[in-house]
Amino acid sequence: LPPRTFHSYLPRSHRTYSCVHCRAHLARHEELISKSFQGSHGRAYLFNSVVNVGCGPAEQRLLLTGLHSVADIFCQSCKTTLGWKYEQAFESSQKYKEGKFIIEMSHMVKENGWD
């Protein structure tokens, strides 16, 4: 098999999160906002920005914190659904999530200098 190439590579000097299935880089630790989120299938992290991720169409979903417009996100390399992007929050207390990304812990692995 030919080696996989990713759209973006994060610096090896930074602690990063990668796709557990194909090891594509997903986010730098500095982009982590919160570890206390719930995904569709378990715990999830909220990130300010991500890389190597594609976005599906937005749809309205009733989540634990109310009605949101979200779009599923997937790894651009292996196409695994990772979580979602918050497109719009309908409650004022949830507006801080707009434009942010949820990635479920079961789809991430920590890499580079976590010891």
Is 25 inside any structural domain?
no
What is the 3 state secondary structure string of 15-71? CEEEECCCCCEEEEHHHEEEEEEEECCEEEEEECCCCCEEEEEEEEEEECCEEEEEE
Is 22 inside any structural domain?
no
pTM of model > 0.75: yes
Separation between Cα atoms, residue 8 and residue 54, nearest integer Å:
12
Domain count, the chain: 1
3-state secondary structure of 83: strand
Domain around 65? 35-111
**pLDDT tens, 25-36?**
999 999 999 999
Question: What is the pLDDT at residue 10?
Answer: 65
Is 69 inside any structural domain?
yes
Is 63 inside any structural domain?
yes
Residues in the chain, pLDDT under 70: 1-13, 113-115
**Cβ–Cβ < 8 Å for 24, 76:** yes
Question: What is the pLDDT at residue 14?
Answer: 74
Question: What is the pLDDT at residue 111?
Answer: 85
Joined tokens for residue 95: 């507006």
